[in-house]
């Protein structure tokens, strides 16, 4: 029973159908009729004019955005535990031409204005220190916490005051949005976000994420950078079709809701093992080595996060019986 | 009637079926059972142990290979008209950290030992000039020419003598192999090639190319670079499945043969308009502006290559009637 | 007798005196009193407010400027024979993060609007081709040709029309200015130049070149890039002092005039061997291998430029008797 | 009275004399007779064959070494407070093409095997995490602590076991060597160090540091990287001459001893204000804002390091009366 990662989940049948349906010859790259619908589809969703680009991975979406938001000789503020800092093999430094990540120790990997201001206060304003030019938050965070619109807006105000461009890594934006019960607009551009990496692959997609540019002036540059990074697929229509299929009838929200609900059921069973409140589809639990071994012996797969800590992730397609079984097993520990 | 680019062609039904069939949960990234079969499948094809990696685009395959074959402070020899020099938006320079492409004016974009030696002779052996560390050829070339095994081997010997790593951009390797009637092994590692970008997308694939490392010591580095470039798809099994579907029963050869045959029929009709012999699925023709307009008025789509020159590309799925129509129209010009 | 390179020349005594005179403790980096005088000194010379930075080498000056003028995903137009393309070991690509040099075949390595427009016309306006964002000329050129103010201004107009930032590599700006008989202002910002690498080391300096930013908005970025490239010397006052010594009483012009005059005397002796008119301190001559050997046997040192071509450079401190001797020897060939 | 930084100190007269004495024409770049003596001079000093290169700044020396020791897709371990991490404006990331610094919280900025092993233990061995390929220590450290040969050797053994290349930033290597009373060899290559940035500018030099490569296989690459970074001065003999002047009769040790002795006198006066033992020429003291203001009112210049902490640096040329005055003032606080 897989609670290892939502990356391992299956693809939603509607996505596969859309891929098959896209299989007529059309113009290459992003010149096709399906790709042409993305700007409108996402502009409708976000209630403002956006530029929307398909890219194959969240790492590519994040790093294309960061490279456009921060010059090589400046830095991007992020949580120390942020995926961009820990799990992308140095992709941000590669894409940005050596830009530095300026890391903030943040409980639950959640930035706050106070934490960011304190970190900025440590940077002497001279030519020797890397000055910050951008800020990136992850929503939901690496520990499964969801930002409220007000929390994002507070960071957005700081960004404006400090002249920082503002990026959101939304690998699990869907799960965050479901928990927040807020509109995509309120969680992003209305709160000052310039660019969003909008994750679909973990949430029923196949090979397509969306990079949403609220600051549309960035689009020309980002499109060149996408090509230059080898991310301009020649049959882009198959990536565009995936995104449209997940937007249709709010399938992306339904999938995320299913995952979040499963996580909530497990959270109830986990009780005071929880290291963080469960606000998306991930659980971080205190657990001894022998307890973990016990669970694994029962067939549950999960990730050893740190000493005495494990991570469970509920996928959009998780079988309800698996969730019941795990909830029972956690209660029984 | 599309003769614009094989990038616009449809996906072979067997590929779509394989994608659908891959839709069970499995380990993320390239840890799944389908990706695990790639090394063996390509080792069988190439009659030697290789490392085979899926990547989304030919640009990524090319540039991952080049970055591993040439350090940032050296250069890679290639034809001036090579795709890596002209059509990848500076991706080789990006991936290599600023490595230089050392371009060679080559008829038909086909390198020969004499041309390469002459170019090397222009580089004073000092610290001011960028010294060459690698060589890249395209097979079939940008003008649709196919290398014989002996031609590749002659370049391979030069590479060995000059201590150059040797890369082949095989965006249309299938078409070249069909024309050469040679084994994949004879066209590559037996002739000294270290790494091959093996194209599948133009030839019936959806979103997966293969990067073949004959020098398997490169694999660890290239896998990190793939991640770092945002090209480690989280559901990699869907990319692996495409490649296996096209390898099965030599579907890749059948598709390429169909395209080459179509091009040969057009070549016969084009007569002395041909700028180069047709050895793959592309035709480059002399054509006046009014002739081109005439063809377009008849519904044919194609690319204006240069002043007085046009390009036609035949796809694997090109309708035979379209080929007949175009052949007839060319004859009638 | 050295006619090999003006890089090998001696340092003017006034420069050495200024270095010694600078030897009192002062604030580190460029916070000292001598560095503080640079902006004013060069603003006076150029008759406009400029930002002036010391840097140790012409390569650093060129590449700091180019990195600020052209983003990594765009290209810089230059002559194929330009120093930045041929002799800086890929420094422009390194500093710019992989920006491409877009080379123009130009007689005498001298760009003209017609040549540049023709080259631009070869770049399809799409995401696959590297679009130009900057242009760099060398004055005097790699073949010792000097631009008139009108020639620079014509390129400046083209730059403006095409939205290209405009850089001048003035490794031998002094020699060019002497020949042109024009004011530094007319040769640069009044003609549309954004940044000038102003060479002093070949012209009597020790280890300091000036990077002049007519577009002062670039200064903040360039200063960070200078630090980041390891070019913010901790005792910068010794670099600043060199520049001020050469500016004082127009010593830079006197030195350049001496070198140009020597070259003119040689040009008269070289007659129809000259490959290019002599407009600075370099001569490029047709010469057979045996003639070159003959001269070397007489004690003259010079550079084999290409097959059948040699280069002589006259330095600011060249002994008049050496020039007489070489003139005589050339006449006698 | 300047206790702000040894960067602001004067140049030793012997260095200025050597610069003047070098002023005869000679071959450009590093082809001159004086540069040619460096390898031998430093090989004698280090009792083994080394390659020794002049470079203008410590940042350049550090980053050239790091770029050669660690590929772009790996990381370099260093103390969090290391100069390369905090004070070089991202130069290591620039030179290495985006290589990551993997920082270690280390008291006194001094690495130990235990600290390094603990940090390595936090890096999962997969393609997502940046794996370490090199380690860099500063000797003396950023807090003026000196490593013993045994301490360096313990790190050298770890480096060997973990396959890490080993770099030492010796901006104040002279001060460290004086304190350790150890031979340069014992502090470096005998302890496993591959490359040393050997600082001279703070210690009486003008504009020349030495990059010492114990692993001479690195020399070819580093020389190209030096050129490519714009650090191959055209009149390199003036940089080489400075180094030879400071090596002569152990002037470098005499200068460092003078600075260390001055610091020791201040340390005695500072008593329990000392945050770290004084093992080189720097003092870090606890001090209130009003105390600092009081000292400044008496004419002492120094650096506010952190809240409640200040730094004093004693230079090689510090006037003994200034040291007496400061010692007295510290005692009187």
Mean pLDDT confidence for C132-147: 98
Q: Residue with structure tokens 């049948």?
A: A13
pLDDT digits (tens, 9 = 90+) for A30-72: 999 999 999 999 999 999 999 999 999 999 999 999 999 999 9
pLDDT band at D18 (very low <50, low <70, confident <90, very high): very high
pLDDT for res D8: 83
Residue contact C11–D60, C-beta within 8 A? no
Mean pLDDT confidence for C206-220: 97
Residue A99 backbone dihedrals phi, psi, to 5 degrees: -60, 150
pLDDT for res C219: 98
Among partner residues B74, B127, B225, which is closest to D73 by beta-carbon distance?
Answer: B225
Say whether pLDDT at C25 is over 90: no
Say whether pLDDT at A24 is over 90: no
Mean pLDDT confidence for A214-223: 97
pLDDT for res D26: 87
Quote the minimal CA–CA distance from C228 to chain A in Å.
7
**Residue C180: exposed, middle, or buried by beta-carbon count in 10 A (0-12, 13-18, 19+)?**
buried
Say whether pLDDT at B14 is over 90: yes
Say whether pLDDT at D39 is over 90: yes
Say whether pLDDT at B25 is over 90: no
SS3 letters for chain B? CECCCHHHCCCCHHHHHHHHHCCCCCCCECCCCCHHHHHHHHHHHHCCCCEEEEECCHHHHHHHHHHHHCCCCCEEEEECCCHHHHCCCCHHHHHHCCCEEEEECCHHHCCCHHHHHHHHHCCCCCCCCCCEEEEEEECCCCCCCCCCHHHHHHHHHHHHHHCCEEEEEECCHHHHHHHHCCCHHHHCHHHCCCEEEECCHHHCCCCCEEEEECCHHHHHHHHHHHHHCCCCCCECHHHHHHHHHHHHHHHHHHHHHHHHHHHHHHHHHHHHHECCCCCCCEEEEECCHHHHHHHHHCCCECEEEECCEEEEECCCCCCHHHHHHHHHHHHHC
Name the residue of chain B whose CA is nearest to D93's CA: B97
Rg of chain B on CA atoms, in Å? 20
Name the residue of chain A whose CA is nearest to D123's CA: A86
Residue contact A128–D99, C-beta within 8 A? no
Quote the minimal CA–CA distance from D131 to chain B in Å.
10
HSE, CB side, 13 Å, CA atoms: give it for residue D79.
22
Say whether pLDDT at A25 is over 90: no
The residues pairing with D51 across neighbouring beta strands, listed in sequence order, are D213
Say whether pLDDT at B8 is over 90: no
Residue contact B97–C98, C-beta within 8 A? yes
Residue contact B99–C90, C-beta within 8 A? yes
pLDDT for res D24: 86
Among partner residues D88, D98, D99, which is closest to A128 by beta-carbon distance?
Answer: D88
Residue D297 backbone dihedrals phi, psi, to 5 degrees: -65, -25
Say whether pLDDT at D117 is over 90: yes
**Residue A128: exposed, middle, or buried by beta-carbon count in 10 A (0-12, 13-18, 19+)?**
middle
**Considering only CB atoms, which residues of chain C are within 8 Å of chain B?**
72-73, 75, 86-90, 93-94, 96-100, 127-130
Residue contact A201–B235, C-beta within 8 A? yes
Among partner residues A86, A87, A93, which is closest to D93 by beta-carbon distance?
Answer: A93
List chain C residues with CB under 8 Å of D5: 28
Residue contact D25–C2, C-beta within 8 A? yes
Which residues touch A176 (CB under 8 Å, ≥6 apart)?
A: A139, A140, A146, A147, A170, A187, A279, A280
**Considering only CB atoms, which residues of chain A are within 8 Å of chain D?**
72-73, 75, 86-90, 93-94, 96-100, 127-130
Percent of chain B with pLDDT over 90: 97
Residue contact A317–B25, C-beta within 8 A? yes
List chain B residues with CB under 8 Å of D69: none
**In a mutagenesis test of the C interface, which of A30, A53, A72 is the best target, namely the one with the most C β-carbons within 10 Å?**
A72
Say whether pLDDT at D156 is over 90: yes
> d(Cα C26, Cα D301) in Å, to the nearest integer?
12
Residue contact B8–A24, C-beta within 8 A? no
Among partner residues A88, A90, A100, which is closest to D90 by beta-carbon distance?
Answer: A100
pLDDT digits (tens, 9 = 90+) for C35-87: 999 999 999 999 999 999 999 999 999 999 999 999 999 999 999 999 999 99
Say whether pLDDT at A26 is over 90: no
pLDDT digits (tens, 9 = 90+) for C225-252: 999 999 999 999 999 999 999 999 999 9
Which residues touch D36 (CB under 8 Å, ≥6 apart)?
A: none
List chain A residues with CB under 8 Å of C126: none
Please state, in angstroms and as integers, the Cα–Cα distance from residue A115 to each residue in A107, A146, C199, following that order. 10, 17, 47
Mean pLDDT confidence for D25-35: 92
The three-class DSSP label of residue C250 is helix
Say whether pLDDT at C8 is over 90: no
Say whether pLDDT at D71 is over 90: yes
Name the residue of chain D whose CA is nearest to C98's CA: D97
Q: Extract the tokens encoding D15.
A: 């260095």
Say whether pLDDT at C95 is over 90: yes
> d(Cα C59, Cα C171) in Å, to the nearest integer?
9
Residue whose C-alpha is closest to residue B101's, from B126, B69, B147, B124: B69
Mean pLDDT confidence for B15-41: 95
Percent of chain C with pLDDT over 70: 100
Name the residue of chain B whose CA is nearest to C94's CA: B98
Q: What is the mean pLDDT of chain B?
A: 97
**Considering only CB atoms, which residues of chain A are within 8 Å of chain C?**
29, 71-74, 97-98, 127-128, 131, 221, 223-228, 232
pLDDT band at B24 (very low <50, low <70, confident <90, very high): confident
**In a mutagenesis test of the D interface, which of C87, C234, C259 is the best target, namely the one with the most D β-carbons within 10 Å?**
C234
pLDDT for res D324: 97
Give the pairing type, strands C195-198 and C209-213. antiparallel
pLDDT for res B26: 87
Residue contact B98–C100, C-beta within 8 A? no
Q: Is the ipTM of this complex over 0.95?
A: yes
* H helical segments located in chain A: 13-21, 38-46, 58-69, 83-86, 91-96, 113-121, 149-161, 173-180, 184-187, 219-228, 237-247, 251-270, 289-297, 320-332
Partners of chain C (3+ Cβ pairs below 8 A): A, B, D
pLDDT band at C24 (very low <50, low <70, confident <90, very high): confident
Quote the minimal CA–CA distance from D7 to chain C in Å.
5
Residue contact C72–B87, C-beta within 8 A? no
Helix (H) or strand (E) holding D324: helix D320-332
Residue contact D94–C8, C-beta within 8 A? no
Quote the minimal CA–CA distance from A95 to chain D in Å.
8
Residue contact A90–D127, C-beta within 8 A? no
Length of chain A in residues, anyone? 333
DSSP for A207-265, please give it.
Answer: S-EEEEESSGGGHHHHHHHHHHTT---TBTHHHHHHHHHHHGGGHHHHHHHHHHHHHHH
pLDDT for res C153: 98
Quote the minimal CA–CA distance from D257 to chain B in Å.
38
pLDDT for res A8: 83
Say whether pLDDT at C167 is over 90: yes
Partners of chain D (3+ Cβ pairs below 8 A): A, B, C
């Amino acid at each position: 029973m897989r609670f290892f990662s939502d990356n391992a989940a299956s693809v939603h049948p509607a996505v596969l159908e859309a891929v098959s349906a896209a299989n007529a010859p059309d113009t290459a790259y992003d010149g096709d009729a399906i790709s042409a619908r993305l700007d409108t589809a996402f502009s409708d969703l976000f209630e403002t004019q956006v530029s929307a680009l398909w890219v194959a991975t969240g790492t590519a979406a994040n790093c294309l955005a960061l490279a456009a938001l921060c010059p090589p000789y400046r830095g991007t503020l992020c949580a120390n535990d942020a995926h961009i800092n820990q799990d992308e093999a140095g992709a941000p430094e590669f894409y940005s031409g050596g830009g530095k990540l300026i890391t903030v120790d943040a409980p639950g990997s959640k930035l706050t204005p106070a934490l960011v201001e304190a970190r900025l206060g440590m940077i002497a304003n001279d030519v020797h220190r890397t000055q910050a030019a951008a800020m990136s938050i992850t929503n939901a965070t690496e520990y499964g916490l969801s930002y409220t619109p007000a929390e994002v807006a507070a960071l957005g105000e700081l960004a404006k005051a400090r002249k920082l461009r503002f990026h959101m890594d939304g690998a699990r934006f869907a799960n965050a949005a479901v928990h927040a019960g807020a509109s995509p607009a309120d969680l992003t551009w209305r709160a000052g976000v310039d660019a969003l990496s909008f994750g679909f692959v973990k949430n029923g997609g196949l090979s397509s994420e969306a990079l949403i540019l609220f600051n549309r002036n960035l689009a020309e540059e980002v499109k060149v950078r996408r090509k230059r990074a080898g991310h301009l697929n020649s049959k882009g229509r198959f990536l565009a079709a995936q995104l449209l299929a997940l937007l249709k009838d709010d399938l992306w929200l339904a999938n995320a809701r299913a995952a979040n609900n499963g996580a909530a059921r497990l959270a109830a069973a986990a009780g005071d093992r929880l290291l963080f409140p469960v606000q998306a589809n991930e659980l971080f639990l205190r657990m001894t080595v022998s307890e973990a071994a016990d669970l694994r012996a029962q067939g549950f797969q999960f990730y050893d996060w740190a000493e005495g800590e494990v991570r469970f992730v509920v996928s959009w397609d998780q079988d309800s019986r698996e969730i019941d079984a795990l909830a029972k097993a956690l209660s029984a520990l």
